[in-house]
Amino acid sequence: MSKVLIDAVGLRKYFPIKGGVTGRTLGYVYAVDDVNIKIYKGETVGLVGESGCGKTTLGRVLLDLAEPTAGVLFYNPEDSVSSKVSELYKNLKTNKPSELKKEEKKLVEEAKKADVYRNKKRNREFRKKVQIVFQDPVSSLDPRMLIKDIIAEPILINGIPTEDGKRKKIKGDELLNYIREMIGEMGLNEDHLFRFPHEFSGGQRQRIAIARAISIRPEFLVLDEPTSALDVSVQAQILSLLEHLQQKYEMTYLFITHNLAVIRAVSDRVIVMYLGKVVEVSRTDDLFENPIHPYTQALLSAIPVPDPERKRNIVVLSGDVPSPANPPAGCRFHTRCRFAEEICTKEEPKLEEIKEGHTAACHFAREIISGQKKPAPAPTFST
Amino acid sequence: MTANANSASSNLARALRTKFQSFAKTFYFYTRSPIATIGLIIVLFYVLVAIFGPIVLGGNPWRMTQYLSYHGQYIYNIPQPPSRYFPFGTTFEGYDIFNGVVKAARIDLMVAAIVVLSGALIGTFLGSIAGYKGGLTGEVIMRVTDIFLSIPSLVLAIAFLVIFSRTLNVMVLALIVIWWPTYTRIVRGQVLSVRELKYVEASVAAGSSSIRTVLKHIIPNSIYPIFVQVSLDFGNVILTMAALFFLGVGFAGYWTPEWGNIISIATTFSSGIPAITHYWWTVVIPALAILILVVSLNLMGDGLRDVTDPRLRR
Amino acid sequence: MEDVLVVKNLKTQFFIYEGVVKALEDVSFSVGKGEVLGIVGETGCGKSVTAYSITRLIPDPPGRIVGGEVKLGNLDLMRNIKDEARFIQKKRIKIKHNYKVIRNNELFFNTIRGKYISMIFQEPMAALNPVYTVEDQIAETLLLHNRTRLLKIMKSASNHLSELERWKDGGDIDIFDDELGEEIDKIKKTARGAESIKFHQDLLIEGARGFSKKMQKYEEMLKKSIERDELEDRLLTDPNPATQQEIIKRLAKESKKINLIKMSKQMKRNKKDPLLIEARRESFSLLESVDIPNPRGVLKSYPHELSGGMLQRVTISIALANNPKVLIADEPTTALDVTVQAQILKLLRDLQDAIGTSIILITHDLGVIAETCNRVAVMYAGNIVEMAEVKELFRNPKHPYTIGLLQSIPRVDDPNKTLKTIPGNVPNLINPPQGCRFHPRCPFVFDRCRVEKPVSIEVSKGHTVECHLFSGKVNAE
């Protein structure tokens, strides 16, 4: 297996809910709650979930665009961190620093040096290696800037990588030629450089946003619903463009979306989130053919298939997603789950490896795949 | 793609052309509203008068006090009705209203411009800090702003003029002190909404520093409401200034050509309301000068607001 | 199949700074009784404009319906569209509105919208008024369009007050053969639990008491309302345009007389008003019919207190409150999550089976189309390029655009499918391409496409295509 590019340990992001005259904190929105993920070099990871499940927040926390409430983020950990360190960090929440042993303290120091959040120098380097593309092509481009200025911005700040591994800043005509070359690759032409964003269609704006993101040749690109606001025919164009760019520039993608069909088309591995928790991680084909977690099963069955002659059973989940400000105790899915039993309301399931390369957080994961456990009479129906 | 398309000057020209086109579009929408266009024309007329009026006219409005008769007429002290020689008539003490009104345009517009622009500048600076940084800094700035907003503006200005000295500089300063908090509020509100937009986040993701983000993205995108407010406040400053003169706390003597002052000459020297109603032009004409300008500025401001708000563009 | 709504050559344009956007170009289709017609297409293809044109909700300025016919029964909804405005050709086209005609049309359309044609929108949060409770908003549409039914039930209930009271005390109730009987049948079928039945019983009895107290007043009201209903029904059935014109005039005159705000204020003050009580009971029963858990709580809540899926259920219940002939659903599930989308689509299908309203379902998601619709119209750049039965369209697409669209969808069930793309972008509709509007992106383009606009050709029964590729074949045959 290839090298780990990003190792996030125990990430949490709670948004405080302020209220009252004095603005005290009434509670928290548990947007991302204890997420541990690894992203490997060169792969495309799909991050999927419904609205409000925290997938966008996780993407932002991974890029240090939002400060996490807790957790560490190692970038290129194999170069700088031993696996012991991240193991330690995973369990750190149960240990108080004062109770740490000497050698553990050393490891903690080591981790701090490697952690993107805590080490400023590392953070600056990190900025040059990661980029993001947003969902909404309307608000992601500054309406008062020309396209050339929009694309030039990251280059002016970060420079472009040269062959000897350093970065150099470019200006003036050199910069314009560079942008021109890149925009050609995006399927736009040079005429477009001297226009304002509002003159473009959604697909073209998304191309511009991608051009801006990859202009500094990042290693890791977070794609936050890049095609959700686009039409299917344009979506296909953008997806194939992204695939081409990934091969050319050897980038790693985190593809955040609610559209499972897109995930299946683009990603190598899939992370499924529900209410701030990762519920299932698996290789793509395995997930689509043998989903383990009841939520994933329901999610997969609910997607409308563009084939009127195909009959399928839809598992209709009752109710709505609970509020992330007040998540249910125990397993967060138990309020809508067909398999829920008493243990689910009390104890939170851990993310366990059920099969090779396929982990899920469910108390009855093994029983469900072996077919031992039958669902409660649920409102399934067929088309 | 031709070779000379690459040259720097043609690129600049293209960028400028695009920007001009977008301005032309905005201007088209502005002229769609006849009322706003009329407002703009009148304001431009006032600006021209302010620039060229004193050059063309020459002389002093109060030079009349030096002569007992002029063009064969006895003029001292008694207001003369509008005539060939005094198009707007004269007011008490033989003050030539036409000359005064024209010269007042320069002083009034200049003071208004200085006050409003410095207010906007201070407001943009403080407002963007308060909005973007937030936290304790923002809180302190906003509370100070609130304190200034809570003091009646006229009282504050009078206090300034009385405590320091009744000069032009102090008055400008007093008016700036009155005006900056409004702008701080507006800019902060705008910045709070703009900073949540995705392009700001994209800029942060690209490693842009806070100062750069604010200057490049946030201020250019939150400044439009300021333009509107500036055009509306222009009139308000002139009104406040007139009010200060009328209350007798203007700067530097009776003879300053200022619209409010010309009115106050009439009210101070006349023997009550019957005299003013008899010599109506002494009050009505300078008042009209203020009224027309303020109304036109308001019309212009409304027009500006309509074109800068894309929802109202049809 | 009887056609409920026939749209012929509908043409809508937007007059903006950059020029005239030809948003709809001769759109024609029909909706059969009890049918679900899907309209699918990409952003800017005019599918929403079609919906808004039919209901006359196009904002003006800048939009205007320039021509065409929309027939609901025998009535052409666009009958005097040309009188509404004149176009003056200058450097830019100027529009001179005739506000008198527009105002009258607006009054007349108020009787159509919500009663005969109703709509569901993409954003349920934006479709509901945040300052009124759900109950107020459902009751509003009932009070506006369905007073006859409410009063009839109340009248019948007041006649059978003693039986109702016996029912409440635990006894059984005989089925009456008028409105009340049907209603009680419905209550027994849909009500969930004893508490729900009790709610119905209480309100029925309370309303009946109110009715019998001021019998004369409400009888009068009922008579008037029946008259108005008859007028409206005649409007749709009468084939003579002159009579239609006359009826519209009468309706408009009456509409002016009804001051809704005053009416509702009066009723609010009089809490015992049977009309209001019955509207509340009906709202409750509507919420039950759209599977809302805890309908009593939802009635009293404000829109921001409910989730997106719940709100969409509420808007559906409002849209279906008066059993409209046509329901236009404009991207009803786009803003919702897939699991909720599945719930809502199931609900729409169930309700359609139950009440038989025709539905026009507008969406960009071919998956939703495949699962919900009977017939599909594919739109591109303001034209309907292909129309067919849903199975036929997916099995045997003809138009190059439809083919491209079907090939560009990623599929969950088919991992090995490679995504094909349609090259290029949706054209600018201010200067649309000459001839066939799809020709710049079409892989099969030939000379004729560039100059001549294709007409609709029936390639097989019920399957029409606007494409020159097929006109040749048909001619040869």
**C381 lies in a domain?**
no
Contacts with A227 from chain C: Cβ below 8 Å: none
Cβ <8 Å between B25 and C17: yes
Q: Specify the residue for token string 């591995």.
A: A269
Confidence at residue B133, expressed as pLDDT on a 0 to 100 scale: 85
Sheet containing strand C3-16, edge to edge, reads C19-32, C3-16, C63-72, C75-76
Last residue of a domain, one of C238, C267, C301: C301
B23: its two tokens: 């301005």
- Mean pLDDT for B85-104 is 78
Q: Which positions 158-177 of C are in contact with B (Cβ < 8 Å)?
A: none
The answer for residues whose C-beta is within 8 angstroms of residue B269's C-beta and 6 or more apart is: B91, B92, B93
Confidence at residue B263, expressed as pLDDT on a 0 to 100 scale: 83
Measured between CB atoms, which of A144, A157, A209 is closest to B220? A144
Least CA distance to C339: which residue of chain A? A302
Strands A352-355 and A269-274: unpaired
Last residue of a domain, one of C246, C273, C301: C301
**C52 lies in a domain?**
yes
- Domain of residue B295 covers 44-60+98-312
Contacts with C426 from chain A: Cβ below 8 Å: 201, 231
Residue C257 Cα distances to C15, C253, C308, angstroms: 35, 7, 37
> Do C107 and C156 belong together in one domain?
no
Contacts with A146 from chain B: Cβ below 8 Å: 15, 18
- Mean pLDDT for A203-212 is 91
**B215 lies in a domain?**
yes
**B13 lies in a domain?**
no
Contacts with B1 from chain A: Cβ below 8 Å: 180, 190
- Mean pLDDT for A154-169 is 84
> Do C116 and C239 belong together in one domain?
no
Cβ <8 Å between C365 and A321: no
**B134 lies in a domain?**
yes
Contacts with A240 from chain C: Cβ below 8 Å: 419, 421
Cβ <8 Å between B6 and A177: yes
The pLDDT mean for chain B works out to: 82
C82: its two tokens: 């040309």
> Do C72 and C182 belong together in one domain?
no
Confidence class of residue A1 from pLDDT cuts 50, 70 and 90?
low
Confidence at residue C379, expressed as pLDDT on a 0 to 100 scale: 93
B6, pLDDT greater than 60: no
> Do C113 and C145 belong together in one domain?
no
Confidence at residue B125, expressed as pLDDT on a 0 to 100 scale: 92
> Do C410 and C359 belong together in one domain?
no
Neighbours of chain B (3+ CB pairs under 8 A): A, C
**B23 lies in a domain?**
no
The answer for residues whose C-beta is within 8 angstroms of residue A80's C-beta and 6 or more apart is: A74, A113, A114
Cβ <8 Å between C370 and A314: no
Distance CA B307, CA C166 (A): 67
> Do C149 and C289 belong together in one domain?
yes
Distance CA A216, CA A161 (A): 7
- Mean pLDDT for A278-297 is 91
Least CA distance to B314: which residue of chain C? C62
Q: Does B198 touch chain C (CB under 8 A)?
A: no
Q: Are C364 and A231 in contact (CB under 8 A)?
A: yes
Last residue of a domain, one of C255, C271, C301: C301
CATH of the domain at B297: 1.10.3720.10
> Do C153 and C103 belong together in one domain?
no
CATH of the domain at C106: 3.40.50.300
- Mean pLDDT for B27-54 is 88
Cβ <8 Å between C370 and A236: no
Query: At C458, phi and psi to the nearest 5?
Result: -90, 110
- Domain of residue C67 covers 1-88+99-130+320-373
- In angstroms, the separation between the Cα of residue A233 and the nearest Cα of chain B is 25
Choose the mutation target among C15, C17, C64, C97 for the interface with B, i.e. most B CBs under 10 Å: C17
Query: At B185, phi and psi to the nearest 5?
Result: -60, -50
B241: its two tokens: 């200034």
Q: Does C416 touch chain A (CB under 8 A)?
A: no
B184: its two tokens: 């701080």
Q: Does B25 touch chain C (CB under 8 A)?
A: yes
Confidence at residue B313, expressed as pLDDT on a 0 to 100 scale: 53
Q: Does C17 touch chain B (CB under 8 A)?
A: yes
Confidence at residue B257, expressed as pLDDT on a 0 to 100 scale: 80
Q: Which positions 181-220 of A are in contact with C (Cβ < 8 Å)?
A: 201-204
Confidence at residue A80, expressed as pLDDT on a 0 to 100 scale: 67
**C5 lies in a domain?**
yes
Least CA distance to A52: which residue of chain C? C337
- Mean pLDDT for A31-56 is 89
Closest CA to C363 of A306, A309, A379: A306
Q: Does B85 touch chain C (CB under 8 A)?
A: no
Neighbours of chain C (3+ CB pairs under 8 A): A, B
Residue A75 Cα distances to A35, A246, C277, angstroms: 16, 19, 65
Confidence at residue B75, expressed as pLDDT on a 0 to 100 scale: 55
A133: its two tokens: 């593309």
pLDDT by residue, tens only, chain C of 477 residues: 688 899 999 999 998 877 888 999 889 999 998 899 999 988 888 888 999 999 988 888 788 898 888 988 888 888 888 888 888 887 777 888 888 888 888 888 888 888 899 999 988 888 898 988 898 889 888 888 888 888 888 888 888 888 888 888 877 777 776 778 888 888 887 777 788 888 888 888 888 888 888 888 888 888 888 888 888 888 888 888 888 888 888 877 777 666 666 666 666 667 778 888 888 888 999 998 888 888 888 988 999 988 888 899 999 999 988 889 899 999 998 888 888 888 888 888 888 888 888 999 999 888 899 988 999 999 999 999 999 999 999 999 999 999 998 888 888 777 666 778 888 888 888 888 888 999 998 888 888 888 888 888 888 888 999 988 887 654 443
> Do C222 and C358 belong together in one domain?
no
Least CA distance to C390: which residue of chain A? A308
B136, pLDDT greater than 70: yes
Least CA distance to B7: which residue of chain A? A173
Q: Does A264 touch chain C (CB under 8 A)?
A: yes
**CB-based burial of residue B250 (10 Å sphere; 0-12 exposed, 13-18 middle, 19+ buried)?**
buried
A102, pLDDT greater than 90: no
Instruction: State pTM to two decimals.
Output: 0.84
Measured between CB atoms, which of C42, C345, C411 is closest to A261? C411
A79, pLDDT greater than 80: no
Q: Does C93 touch chain B (CB under 8 A)?
A: no
What residue type is C87 in one-letter code?
A: F
Residue B237 Cα distances to A66, B166, B232, C333, angstroms: 44, 17, 9, 53
Contacts with B11 from chain A: Cβ below 8 Å: 176, 194
Q: Does C426 touch chain A (CB under 8 A)?
A: yes
Confidence class of residue B72 from pLDDT cuts 50, 70 and 90?
low
Contacts with A298 from chain C: Cβ below 8 Å: 339
> Do C105 and C253 belong together in one domain?
no
What residue type is C456 in one-letter code?
A: S
Q: Does A141 touch chain B (CB under 8 A)?
A: yes
**CB-based burial of residue C214 (10 Å sphere; 0-12 exposed, 13-18 middle, 19+ buried)?**
middle
> Do C180 and C122 belong together in one domain?
no
Confidence at residue B127, expressed as pLDDT on a 0 to 100 scale: 92
Q: Are A235 and A207 in contact (CB under 8 A)?
A: no
B306, pLDDT greater than 90: no
Confidence at residue A346, expressed as pLDDT on a 0 to 100 scale: 87
**B167 lies in a domain?**
yes
**B72 lies in a domain?**
no
Selected residue with higher pLDDT from C389 and B242: C389
> Do C75 and C201 belong together in one domain?
no
Alpha helices in C83-123 (DSSP H): 99-112
Least CA distance to C62: which residue of chain B? B314
DSSP E strands, chain A: 4-19, 24-40, 44-48, 70-75, 130-133, 160-161, 167-168, 220-224, 252-257, 269-274, 277-283, 313-315, 352-355, 358-360, 380-382
Cβ <8 Å between A146 and B15: yes
Selected residue with higher pLDDT from C382 and A121: C382
> Do C161 and C279 belong together in one domain?
yes
Provide the number of structural domains found in chain C: 3
Q: Does A172 touch chain B (CB under 8 A)?
A: yes
Q: Does A233 touch chain C (CB under 8 A)?
A: yes
C36: its two tokens: 């679900």
Confidence at residue B314, expressed as pLDDT on a 0 to 100 scale: 46
A336, pLDDT greater than 50: yes
Provide the number of structural domains found in chain B: 1
Confidence at residue C258, expressed as pLDDT on a 0 to 100 scale: 65
Would you tell me how many other CB atoms lie within 10 Å of the CB of residue B248? Answer: 12
Angle at A71 between CA A65 and CA A75, to 5 degrees: 65
Cβ <8 Å between A321 and C337: yes
Q: Does C415 touch chain A (CB under 8 A)?
A: yes
Q: Are A237 and A267 in contact (CB under 8 A)?
A: no
pLDDT per residue over A313-323, tens digit each? 777 777 778 88
- In angstroms, the separation between the Cα of residue A157 and the nearest Cα of chain C is 32
Contacts with A305 from chain C: Cβ below 8 Å: 367, 370-371, 411-413
Choose the mutation target among A15, A194, A210 for the interface with B, i.e. most B CBs under 10 Å: A194
Cβ <8 Å between A302 and C338: yes
pLDDT per residue over A140-161, tens digit each? 898 888 898 999 999 998 888 8
